[in-house]
């Protein structure tokens, strides 16, 4: 059975995450696939929301690694920690809107937003999961111009967190057309219609507020690269 590990990355650079040396080390640790989401030049003009301490800086990348067993997480973590400051989690992946994928290392022509979510204290884990995964999912898909939507619920942390970075409950990836980087109508799929845009924005923000995703989140705009190892 395959397990998925996800890591927030701070001080690593994009070339290190794409390097053949790192990929070889991950493969030696038992990884079969690697996804690199990195805040690089093609998405430089996109909106980003950091919530960690200023001394830490914003999350610069999110790396996903598929392994045969989560027991290999310490070795995978060590390989990534050799090139960057990371924090990681074992996650349960859901794919309500499956994007097209080619595992050849090429950049996907898209804005791939990764949101790092935290459950509000006033919601139980069960209520939070239901509101997000069941109630919110169709709203998110209906109100945005996405062609990919992946939800990753944290099963367990596999590293300590940097000082001041709050515990994480989920990581979400949404893929938009590249035009969404600087075109709000492309982001919401509203076709240039101002009334439709307003309606979609209102419906989305009302829905995210119900499970706390309107606050205390990190939003990382990224380019998406997929590798078979």
Average pLDDT, 10 consecutive residues per value, the chain (229 residues): 95 86 97 97 96 94 97 97 96 97 97 98 97 98 98 98 97 98 98 98 98 97 98
Report the pLDDT value the prediction gives residue 159, as an integer from 0 to 100.
98
Ordered structural domains, the chain, with CATH:
3-228 (3.30.70.100)
Report the pLDDT value the prediction gives residue 92, as an integer from 0 to 100.
98
What phi, psi does 125 have (nearest 5°)?
-60, -40
What phi, psi does 74 have (nearest 5°)?
-60, -35
Give the integer Cα–Cα distance in Å for 70 and 76.
10
Task: Kindly state the tokens that stand for 174.
Answer: 């949404």
To which H or E segment does residue 49 belong?
Answer: none
Number of H helices, E strands in the chain: 7, 9
Task: Kindly state the tokens that stand for 171.
Answer: 């990581």
Give the integer Cα–Cα distance in Å for 14 and 156.
26
Task: Kindly state the tokens that stand for 161.
Answer: 């967190």
Give the integer Cα–Cα distance in Å for 6 and 208.
23
Q: Which residues contact 107 (CB under 8 A, 6 or more apart)?
A: 42, 223, 224, 225
Q: Do 151 and 172 touch, CB atoms closer than 8 A?
A: yes
Task: Kindly state the tokens that stand for 98.
Answer: 């499956």
pTM: 0.96
Q: How many residues would you count in the chain?
A: 229
Task: Kindly state the tokens that stand for 130.
Answer: 């239901």
Q: Do 170 and 154 touch, CB atoms closer than 8 A?
A: yes
To which H or E segment does residue 180 belong?
Answer: none
* Residues paired with 86 in a beta bridge: 9
Q: Do 201 and 188 touch, CB atoms closer than 8 A?
A: yes
Report the pLDDT value the prediction gives residue 1, as an integer from 0 to 100.
77
């Amino acid at each position: 059975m395959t397990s998925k590990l996800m890591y927030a990355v701070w001080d690593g650079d994009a070339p290190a995450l794409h390097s053949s040396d790192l990929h070889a080390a991950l493969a030696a640790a038992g990884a079969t696939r690697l996804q690199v989401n990195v805040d690089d030049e093609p998405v430089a003009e996109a909106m980003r929301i950091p919530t960690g301490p200023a001394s830490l800086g914003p999350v610069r990348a999110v790396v996903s690694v598929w392994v045969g067993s989560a027991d290999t997480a310490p070795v995978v973590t060590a390989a990534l920690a050799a090139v960057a400051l990371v924090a990681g989690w074992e996650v349960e992946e859901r794919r309500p809107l499956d994007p097209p994928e080619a595992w050849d290392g090429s950049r996907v022509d898209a804005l791939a937003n990764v949101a790092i979510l935290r459950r509000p204290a006033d919601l139980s884990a069960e209520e939070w999961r239901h509101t997000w995964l069941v109630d919110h999912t169709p709203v998110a898909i209906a109100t945005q111009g996405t062609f990919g939507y992946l939800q990753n619920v944290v099963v367990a942390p596999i590293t300590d967190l940097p000082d001041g970075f709050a515990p994480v409950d989920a990581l979400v990836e949404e893929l938009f057309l590249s035009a969404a980087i600087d075109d709000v109508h492309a982001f919401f799929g509203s076709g240039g219609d101002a009334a439709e845009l307003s309606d979609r924005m209102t419906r989305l923000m009302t829905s995210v507020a119900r499970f706390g995703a309107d606050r205390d989140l990190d939003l990382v705009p990224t380019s998406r690269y997929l590798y078979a190892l």
